């Protein structure tokens, strides 16, 4: 099975310069599934949603 590959543009800067570089992330399917489970279980709104 092929890995999942994501490309993310990152910016690095200081007071005078800025550079953008690609960041390549490689995940096997099992690891990516675990990451999604963690993200889905996280309470981003701090239980302040009205149902």
Q: What pLDDT sits at residue 8?
A: 94
11: nearest Cα among 3, 22, 27, 26: 22
Q: How many CA atoms lie within 13 A of 31 on its CB side?
A: 9
Which pLDDT value is given to residue 9? Answer: 94
Do the Cβ atoms of 1 and 29 come closer than 8 Å? yes
> Do 28 and 36 meet the contact criterion of CB atoms below 8 Å apart?
no
Strand ranges in 1-51 using DSSP code E only, listed in sequence order: 4-13, 18-27
Q: What is the pLDDT of residues 6-41, one digit of tens each?
A: 999 999 999 999 999 999 999 999 999 999 999 999
Residue boundaries of the structural domains of the chain: 4-41
Q: With 90 as the cut, is the pLDDT of residue 49 above it?
A: no
pLDDT of residue 47: 66
């Amino acid at each position: 099975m092929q890995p999942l590959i994501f490309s993310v543009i990152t910016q690095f800067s200081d007071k005078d310069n800025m550079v953008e570089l690609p960041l390549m992330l490689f995940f096997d399917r099992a690891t990516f599934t675990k990451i999604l489970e963690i993200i889905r279980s996280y309470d981003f709104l701090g239980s302040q949603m009205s149902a």
